[in-house]
Structure 1
Amino acid sequence: MTGTGVKAAVEWLVSVAPDPGACRWTWERDPRGVALLPAGRRWDVLILPGELGYPTLDVLTRLIDRPGPVLGGFGDRRMGFFVPPGTVARWVGTGVRGAGRGTWIVVPHPGRPARGGVRWLVPPDGSGTLTDAALLELAMHEAAAGQAGRDSR
């Protein structure tokens, strides 16, 4: 991502922070390069186990040019897909957790290499693009079906 893209991504992310300046300051000076941001304002985050998340991301990238932002973390055991706000309140699915209104997420700086346990697999581009929840669900089904087919062999 270029300097302009990174700046747009930073501005998009910090727009939800209670104090955008403090968020920018944290990203600039904290050696871990992460900030806490509230979910549920511009996005919710659906958190999938890595064994489902990675195949789901593969399916998504075959279906669309660019999904919304995706976080990977905790030794690749979990992935967070940024979806429209309100999705978590309506989501019904086994094994999928959500971060929506009233929750906070750890977010790394979009233009720097990860130094902690969370990194961008698909960084935000600053345009506000999110993954459509229905498309994500279809991709999850296809990924799970593919995994079940491999497991039955």
Structure 2
Amino acid sequence: MTGAKTAVEWLASVAPDPEACRWEWERSPLGVTLLPAGRAWDVLILPGDLGCPTLDVLTRILDQPGPVLADFGDNRVGFLVPPGTAARWLGTGIRTAGPGTWIVVPYPGRSARGVRWLVPPDGSGTLTDPALLELAMHEAAAGPARKRDLGG
């Protein structure tokens, strides 16, 4: 459980009161907390039909991408990226969470209502590189077209 504890410390560090956040989060029956984006990370939120294939591409080229969240229907997939990314990101259909926004975050290593980790944080602060994420998105988006062109 050391990895989960480290991840909890890393995530809770962005809360206005990290100690109170950890205390409530560890005891909450819902297993989720609201955390502010824009301090240690921003979030790029992709539609599930692009986000899931993008994560597949990333896991083929990286040993460990940054943390990735999804709702239980996989309708939306959120990639934790460096702070400042949300303010600079331009992309149709891509939502961003940066300074002034809060996101629902499940406790690492536990299932929660409505949201789960596809790639849980390891506590090291590893985030997905936005340029690499963009390339993976292009690859994922081209995948279905490439299959059609090849008769797949």
SS of the residue 1:115 aligns to: coil
* Deviation of 1:82 (Å): 0.3
Report the 3-state secondary structure (helix = DSSP H, G, I; strand = E; otherwise coil) of the residue aligned with 2:105. strand
3-state SS in 2 of match to 1:81 = strand
**Letter aligned with residue 141 of structure 1:** H
* Alignment RMSD: 1.2
- Distance in 1 separating the partners of 2:98 and 2:142: 27
The TM-score normalised by the length of structure 2 is 0.94
Structure 1 residues without counterparts, runs of 5 or longer: none
Report the Cα distance in structure 1 between the residues aligned to 2:115 and 2:24, rounded to whole angstroms.
16
Q: How many residues align?
A: 150
Please give the per-residue CA displacement for 1:82-129, whole angstroms capped at 9, x wherever unaligned: 0000001000111100000110000000022x1300000000000000
**Percent of residue pairs identical:** 76
Question: Match for residue 70 of structure 2?
Answer: 72
Which structure 2 residue ranges, 5 or more long, are not aligned?
Answer: none
Match of 1:132 among 129, 132, 141: 129
Q: What does 1:37-48 align with in structure 2 at a 5 Å threshold?
A: 37-48=35-46
Residue 121 of structure 1: aligned partner: 118
When the two structures are superposed, what TM-score results if normalisation uses the length of structure 1? 0.94
Work out the CA distance in 2 between the residues paired with 1:7 and 1:115. 17
Query: Which residue in the other structure is 1:56 paired with?
Result: 54
8 Å Cα contact 2:45-2:94 kept in structure 1? yes
Say if 1:53 and 1:78, in contact at 8 Å, map to a contact too.
yes
Q: How does 1:1-153 map to 2 (within 5 A)?
A: 3-112=1-110, 114-150=111-147
Alpha-carbon deviation of 1:151?
A: 5.7
Measured after TM superposition, the shift of residue 21 of structure 1 is 1.7
